[in-house]
Structures are given as structure tokens and as C-alpha cells.
Chain A
């Protein structure tokens, strides 16, 4: 079973700062997801990555398959970015490849 580790567990930033959240995993995967859980509890999918880099607005996600590592970057952070960011990985193609293994999340607080 894949072990998914996120760092840091908690992160406090000043508005406008550049933020990086890291995710590492122990076993090869077919894809990695970044999710955002807002304070009310609902979850939104941000990205799915199998290689390289994706960008959406101020969010950038990168993955290095060889190093088993992904990063989520937030540029020009804003208080509305305050949330828990969750990394999840999907095993290689085949039976059970839809089953995600989730990290414990990184709680981000952005202070005005």
C-alpha cells in the first residue's frame, strides 16, 4: 500500500506570500491529485497530474515521477486560500486503479 506524506502539516503565511506544499509517496503511481478542503468541509478537485506541471490561476502543481514527489504552489496568496490541501495518489493502471490513497492534508492559514 502506498504511503503518502505531506509537509508541512500546518502552514501560516502572510497575504501575498508564495506558498509551497509538498507531497511524497512510497510506491509508483499512475497519477496524483491535489484537492482543497474548505473550512466547511466540502472538497474540490484542483489538479490531476501524471507528469510535468499544471497551472490554474495562481495555483501551480508539479510532479517528479522518478523522485516520487509533487508540489503545490500558490502565488500571491490570499486569505481565501485558507483551507486544507490534500494530496491523493492513484496506483498504476489495472484493477483498483480508481482507488485513491490520501495524505493527511496540509492546513494553510493566510493572514491579511
Chain B
């Protein structure tokens, strides 16, 4: 089945450690996104990528980094510089960046919950 796979589902980290969240899609989508969700708040965009080897900062990129070396993969690294990393992280994809403008087709993974101890 086509879809988006995020791993791990749960992750615990000690302060000062970098962690990487995996996002893989087999939908042949060009555009991929990372969102952060905190209790009582709406989703916020961290980074997005329109195409392989290209990515752009979203609203809350500080303390995060990404790479897009393959079309199907868009890993997110939460660095030690992120002051409040405990949150639920969602990866999403769309056929192209503009597709969500036309058809609204945005696909999400099941999310990864990161807790800093």
C-alpha cells in the first residue's frame, strides 16, 4: 500500500543529544513537509522540500535540520539547539508543492512522539 512511514513512533532523548526522525514515502511525491504539534496548538511548519536536494525553512526551523537526498526520504534532525523539543512530529507529502493548492491532496504519516528527559 502507498503511504508515508514515520519512525520511530516514540523516542526518548536526553538533553544535549541530537535525534533523527525518519520519514519515507512510496507515493512518488515531489513535495514533503515536517510539522510540529504541541498540546493545545495548531500544527506548525518546520521545513518543506519541493524536490530532491532542495528544502526551505518553515515558521519554526530553528534547532532543526533536514536533508532530501532521495525523493522518497525526508529525515528531520532535532538538534541540541532546539530549546523545547518535546512534541509530536508529523511528516506529510503532496504530489507537488502546488498540488495542495489545486486539489488539497496532502498525505500525512502516523507521527513520531519525541520526549526529552
Query: Which of A's residues lie within 8 Å of B, judged by CB?
Result: 4, 30-31, 33, 35, 40-45, 47-48, 86, 88, 90, 93, 97-105
Contacts and interface: CB of A to CB of B under 8 A. Distances in A.
Contact of A104 (B41, B45, B98, B101): B41
B100 A98 contact: yes
A54 to B, nearest CB: 10
B42 A45 contact: no
B108 A97 contact: no
B101 A41 contact: no
B111 A41 contact: yes
| Residue in B31, B43, B45, B113 whose Cβ sees the most chain A Cβ within 10 Å | B43
B106 to A, nearest CB: 5
B104 A45 contact: yes
Contacts of A101: 42
A47 B58 contact: no
Given A42-B111, A102-B44, 16 more contacts: A4-B42, A41-B111, A41-B113, A42-B110, A45-B105, A48-B103, A86-B42, A86-B43, A90-B101, A98-B98, A98-B101, A99-B45, A99-B59, A100-B100, A101-B42, A103-B42
B101 A102 contact: no
Nearest to B92: A43
A105 B37 CA distance: 11
A93 B101 CA distance: 8
Interface string B59-90: 10000000000000000000000000000101
A99 B44 CA distance: 10
23 contacts: A30-B101, A40-B111, A41-B88, A41-B90, A41-B111, A42-B109, A43-B92, A48-B100, A48-B104, A86-B42, A86-B43, A88-B43, A90-B100, A97-B101, A98-B97, A98-B98, A98-B101, A99-B45, A99-B58, A100-B45, A102-B42, A102-B43, A104-B42
